Each structure stands twice: as structure tokens, then as C-alpha cells.
Structure 1
Amino acid sequence: MTRTTIPASRSTGVVVGPVRATWLSVESHWLWYRRNWRSSAFSTFLGPVLFLLAMGFGFGSQVRPGAATGGLSYVEHLVPALLVTTAIQNANFDSTYAVFSAFKWSKTYWGAVATPLTPGQVFAGQLTWNALRLGASLAVFLAVAGLLGALTGPAVLWAWVFALLAGTAFSAVVVAWTATRRTDSAFNGLFRFVVMPMTLFTGAFFPMSDLPSWTWPLAWITPAWHGIELSRGAAFGTLGPVALLGHVAYLSALVVVGAVLGRRYFTRRLAV
């Protein structure tokens, strides 16, 4: 019978269980964040709320309920999708500049692997922290939307779950990709040519049928489109079991791919 052992840190030779190691990594992120949360408060919390006010109540006041909105007001139609686009945009910074800084500028990852933590555990802690941050920011957004009367009912809580899944899927892949970067020059391009198109052209603000048909496959491969379909379908009770399984399977596959690649790239870069 083969015994399964937990890999030890090459720096110390001490074994740390994966759950405790992930928690220790998350705790280090939390200790930094609770002292510096003001620096990201606007982009994480206030920015999405202002966008909801501008698009949902400002622009949305000019959009009459109809077939495109399922008979709902525009702001009610928008909120589940805006949860997903908010998750993608918030995950973008935490998965690029924050990760790159820990490799090159602040070098906190290097300090972490000088302890009993392994590179794979450091990656798991980063991804877990990103997911927790996303969950908190989306909960605040949803609470504000509720206070503004923009929710259709308690089923919209499922939109929070699926938005978190979409944001985590995006984060897992991007964190893995960031681990391969030696400069930060590609991050602006990622935002402009990947994140923004995912925000604007995946059905969040207007039906994809208004776009040329050749653009549809490009939207279908994005986590944003799958998240929006899940969130709206769950919130409005139109999500069938086949669509549910298909969208969840695709997003879950992205998480797994990102996790496998992230562990590999973190180990390649941080192993000493």
C-alpha cells in the first residue's frame, strides 16, 4: 500500500497540511488588507455602485420594459449581469498587479516560501483570498441594490453564487498567467482587450443578438457570458437543468485548469 505524503517546503523541510497552509496564506493577505483597504475601496465597492446608479437608474430610465428585458425594468434586468461583470473587473486587479507585486516588487511570495509553505500552497492561498474578496464585494453590491429596490426577489441570491464562480474562474486562469510574466506591460492590454469586451459584449447591457453573429462564439468562450446566463436565469427562474449543468461545468473546468497551471507556474518560479 502506498502512503500519500504532503510535499515539504524545500526551504525548511517542514510539512504543513494544505488546509492550514492555505489559511495561513489567507491570514497574511487579511492582515495587509485590513490596514490598507481604503486604497481599494472605490474600485472594489463604490465604483460598481456608481455604475449601477448611472446605467441602471440613469440610462435605464430611458429604456422601457419589453421583450429584451423580460418585462422587467432595465435596472432589475441589469443587476444579475452587473454582478458578474463586477466580479470579473474586481478579479482583474487582484489577479494581475497584486500577484505580480508579490513576485517582483514587494516579494512577499518569496518570504512565504522561506517558511514551511510550498509554492503550491502560496498559490492556493492567493486564489482563496481572491475568492473571499470577490464574495465580500459582491455581497455589498447586492445589499446596495436591494436598498435601491433593484432586486426581483430572494432568488437573486443565486446570482451572487454564480457571479462568484465566474469571477473565480477568471481569477484562477489569470493568476496562473501572471505567474509567467516578467514585466507588467501586458496587464493594460488584458483589461482593454479582454476584460472590457467581456463586460460590454456578452449580453450584460443589451442582447447579443444585436451584434454580428460572428462575434457570438467569442462571447461563448468567456466566463462572463456563462456567468451572466447563470445569474439571470437563476434570478428570474428561467434556468433549465441542462443549461445549468453546462455553464457550471465550463466555469468549473476553468477553475481546475487555472489551479493546475497556477500550481505548476508558482512552483517553477518560486521553488528554491
Structure 2
Amino acid sequence: MTHVLEYHLVHYRRTWRSSALSMLVMPLLTMLGFGVGVGAYVTGGVDGVPYLDWIVPGLIASTAVQAALGEATWPVLSYFKWLKVYFAQAAAPLRVADILGGHVLFMLFRILLSTVVFLVVAVLFGVVHSWWALLVVPISLLVGLAVAAPTVAYSASITIDSFLAILMRFAVLPMSLFSGVFFPIESLPTLLRWVAWALPLWHGVDLSRDAMLGLAPGLPGLGHVLYLLAWCALGSWLAHDRFRRQLVI
């Protein structure tokens, strides 16, 4: 598994410059546009919390999910269909668990980078008020894996990239909009509220918001963690099954 992770890290060492600027610019633009721009019109904040302080935890969780999806979609499909990287690795003395696990570890590395950069930008904007904010790092890794694992299984099950565009339009975009990132889900109709509760991102947003605001999550927080772990476990099992079907002859 570590050898597969090393392969992805060596490749990233050659290409990191292409993503470094966007990794820094996107948090800046997002916080300026939504947190400062829109926040200027949200008088009184949300639940007594300034809008910028309230929205940043959701943006961090959403960024973690976007980073996870960036590695769990087109790269996975291309490694099966076009580049055949997975098949080359399977020809070496590597198990399916090594091939899948090494790439998932690299996904977690990318999520970690994106989260840390966003957190540093948040510090510069003065919206981090407690050391408890550091908990958003493991929370982001958890919600990122909860989304990445089933997405890897999906990407390993398709043969054309049009299905990835469908995933982005009908699953990822609604999840980003209706998971409490930009506004409380209490303002949604009851049906959409249930949809938000079922999606992993909302649970990550709620945990991140408690951490950033220094609030005790209590039993609801434990429920969030267990629910995200269930997504991780089920997604990992599905991904391993799809990889095994494709790589084991």
C-alpha cells in the first residue's frame, strides 16, 4: 500500500504547481464573495453568529468534499479505462487492497492539504477564535473519505465519463447547495431537509461548525461521526468489490 501511495506522491510532486494557486485562491475568493460580500447583507448574522464566522466551517467541509471528488472521479476512471495504471499495478505483486488503499491514502493527503490551506486563510481573516478549530482537520478527513469511498466505487463501475458529469449535476451540486453550507437547513422544505440529513456533507458541516465555534457537539456529534463512519465502511466495501471484479482474473 505504501508503494502505491509513493507512486501517487511522486506523480504529484511533478504536478503540484498546477493546483497550488487554485488551492490558495479559491478559499480567498469564496470567503470574500460569500463571507464578506453576501455577509454584509445578513444583518445580525445567523443564530447570533457573524455570517463569515458561521459560513467558514461549512466552506471548509465543502472544500474537503470537493478535493475528495477531484481524486475519486476522473482519475479513477482514467486509471481503469485510458491510462491502465491499475492494471499495471495489479501485474506487480500488489493486492487489490494495496492498489485501492494507496490511492485512497493519497486522496486523504489531498484533502488534508486543502483543509489546512483553508484553515490558514480563515486565521488570516480572523474567524478562528479557539484551538478547538483544529478539529476541523480530522473532521474534514472523515467527511472527505465518506464521500470519496462510494464515489470511487461508482467511478470504477462506469465506462464513459458522461456518467461522471451526471454525478456532478444531480448529486454533488445539490449536496453542496442543500447541506447547510450557505444557509441553515431549517429554512428548507421538510422533504429537502430529510435529503440534507441523509447526505454526508451536512454531518461534516455540523461537526465543523461546532468545532470552529467552540461548541460541545454532545450526542448529536457522536451520531454524526457514526453516520460518516458508516458511509466510509460501506463505500470502502463497494470500492474494493468493484476493484476486485475488474483487476482479479
TM-score of the pair, normalised by structure 2: 0.95
| 1:165-180 mapped onto 2 (5 Å cutoff) | 165-180=142-157
Counterpart in the other structure of 1:57 = 36
Secondary structure at the counterpart of residue 122 of structure 2 = helix
CA-to-aligned-CA distance 1:11-42 (integer Å, 9 cap, x gap): xxxxxxxxxxx111110001111101233335
Counterpart in the other structure of 1:122 = 99
Report the residue type matching 2:52 in the other structure: V
**Does the alignment pair 1:104 with 2:81?**
yes
| 1:133-172 mapped onto 2 (5 Å cutoff) | 133-172=110-149
- Aligned-pair Cα RMSD in Å: 1.5
Shift of 1:244: 1.6
Is the Cα–Cα contact under 8 Å of residues 159 and 234 in structure 1 kept in the other structure?
yes
Q: In 2, Cα distance between the equivalents of 1:57 and 1:140?
A: 19
Counterpart in the other structure of 1:225 = 202
Report the residue type matching 1:38 in the other structure: R
Shift of 1:109: 0.9
| 1:183-198 mapped onto 2 (5 Å cutoff) | 183-198=160-175
Q: In 2, Cα distance between the equivalents of 1:261 and 1:46?
A: 35
Q: In 2, Cα distance between the equivalents of 1:240 and 1:37?
A: 36
Counterpart in the other structure of 2:240 = 263
Shift of 1:199: 1.2
Give the paired residue count: 249
Shift of 1:238: 3.0
Q: In 2, Cα distance between the equivalents of 1:48 and 1:218?
A: 27
Is the Cα–Cα contact under 8 Å of residues 27 and 121 in structure 2 kept in the other structure?
no
Counterpart in the other structure of 2:9 = 30
- 1:48 aligns with one of 27, 31, 49: 27
Moved more, 56-65 or 77-86: 56-65
Is the Cα–Cα contact under 8 Å of residues 123 and 263 in structure 1 kept in the other structure?
yes
Report the residue type matching 1:202 in the other structure: S
Q: In 2, Cα distance between the equivalents of 1:151 and 1:57?
A: 15
Is the Cα–Cα contact under 8 Å of residues 130 and 214 in structure 2 kept in the other structure?
no
- Residue identity over aligned pairs, in percent, reads 39
Report the residue type matching 1:31 in the other structure: V
